[in-house]
Amino acid sequence: MSKIRLVLLNIVLVLISMLGAVLIMVDFKKSVLSEFLERESWIQIIIAVVVLVVLDTGIDLWNSRKQRKEIERLNKKIIEDIKLTDNVIDKKNPYYELSQSIGYVQDKQNKLSKKYDKRKREYLSLLEYIDIGILVIDYKNRLTMSNELGKDFFDFDNEWKNQDYQNYIYNLDVRKLIEQVKLTKEDKKKQIVLKIDTVQKIVETSAIYIPIDSKRYLIMLMLRDLTAQKEMEKKQLDFVGNLSHKIKTPITAITGFSETLLDGALDDKEVSKQFIEIIHDESTKLSNLVDDMITISRLNEHGSLNIELVNIFKLVKDTLQLFSHEIEKKGLNVRIEIDEELSLYCDKLKLKHIITNLIQNAIRYNLENGEIKIKVQNDKKNEWVFVISDTGIGISDKDKERIFERFYRVDKSHSKTVGGTGLGLAVVKESVDALSGRIKVKSQINKGTTFYVILPRFKAR
């Protein structure tokens, strides 16, 4: 209530009191009362009271209108998101403290909003870097969020946001999983086969129920591609199975022929010599298998490279000397087209694995009186190429993609006669990878095969 209004009310109260005092003191006789009423002072008092009432009403209206304008002004500033503590309202204004409180609330709200936006950006950035697809579906079946990997699983277009998930997720197993979670309100997990760009992927799909309140909820789908892992597990199982078979075959032969010798075959010189040769051959195969396994295990350790200067011609010549008996037996013609002085920096042990196994393959799978050609292409600045060609049985197009797999055999019937562990080219590939190189193959059935090993030029350490 304003000060002016208080003053006017005080005046009215004084006048009313005076009038009451007069009425008490005056004789209430009719003649006296009539005389008093005829006086002008009574009329003046009435007029003064009326004027004061009108003034009071006017002041009320004026204050009310002023208050309404102040409130509208505050509301406008709030809507415009102007900080009310920044001298928008004078300190003498009765709404100053209210404006300060509103400004404080605005300031806290802005800080919380900025903090939320920052956390949201960090969260979304994190989702883009993880190797798991993320999708969020609300209680109205709308897709509300997804990272890029999640969108790739179902090939989302640009209009996916806030759309019904059933318009984008067609896989029935995924749909069933979502509906089960909605029905049971419990998390579910299942391995599902998804077809992505004509390729089938094994995907571990987790559906997580996230309650918001009694009626609203979210379902988060987490999709992890297990295809590579499953393929690796299959290769490991195949590897163990093949290894067991490879080991069992020579061991069975050695055990069987040695038992026969012990049972009396030693007395027959011709038979005993034949059996001993078989035992020797099988034990050699077993030894070679163990050597290849040790080589592969060491290559998988990914230790540091031991770079040194290697004379390529001498390394090839020494390797061929190891197989001189097999080369002579098959009547092979070997041509070395490498400069005798050519020396390059490389890891000698890994390079030896490459050259040894490629030469061994060229001998084993070559035809009688065939040819082997070995050369080096040394004309590139950052790379050099080791090339070995043979005139052997060749490799079909369908086998070229798999020849570097462990224990894979191109021609199983022919492999039985030529021997080998089935690990040679796997050793070559892993040695090339360890040297950060590449390997290519060109081949025609019954016309021969050429391997190109492209290696980087290492510098002296």
pLDDT over 60 (residue 38):
no
Confidence class of residue 306 from pLDDT cuts 50, 70 and 90? confident
Tell me the β-bridge partners of 377: 385
Residue 29 has pLDDT above 50, yes or no: no
346-360 pLDDT per residue, tens: 999 889 989 988 998
- Report whether pLDDT(373) > 70: yes
Please list the residues that pair with 438 across neighbouring strands: 454
418 pLDDT more than 60: no
> What is the full DSSP assignment across 49-81?
HHHHHHHHHHHHHHHHHHHHHHHHHHHHHHHTT
pLDDT band at 16 (very low <50, low <70, confident <90, very high): low
Burial of 172 (0-12, 13-18, 19+ CB in 10 A): exposed
In angstroms, the CA 435 to CA 329 distance is 34
Tens digits of residue pLDDT in 360-369: 899 989 999 9
Give the pLDDT score at 28: 44
Mean pLDDT over the full length of the chain = 78
The more confident residue out of 449 and 288 is: 449
pLDDT band at 337 (very low <50, low <70, confident <90, very high): very high
- Neighbour count for residue 453 (Cβ, 10 Å): 23
List all residues 6 or more positions away from 437 whose beta carbon is below 8 Å from its beta carbon. Answer: 453, 454, 455, 456
pLDDT recorded at residue 439:
93
Q: Cα–Cα distance between 269 and 207 in angstroms, integer?
A: 74
What pLDDT, in 10s, does the model give residues 158-204? 888 889 999 989 899 999 999 999 999 999 999 999 888 778 889 99
d(CA 130, CA 147): 9
Encode pLDDT of 388-397 as tens digits: 999 999 888 8
For residue 55, pLDDT over 90 is answered with no
Checking if the pLDDT of 80 tops 60, the result is no
Burial 129-143 (b: 16+ CB within 10 A, else e): eeeebbbbbbeeeeb
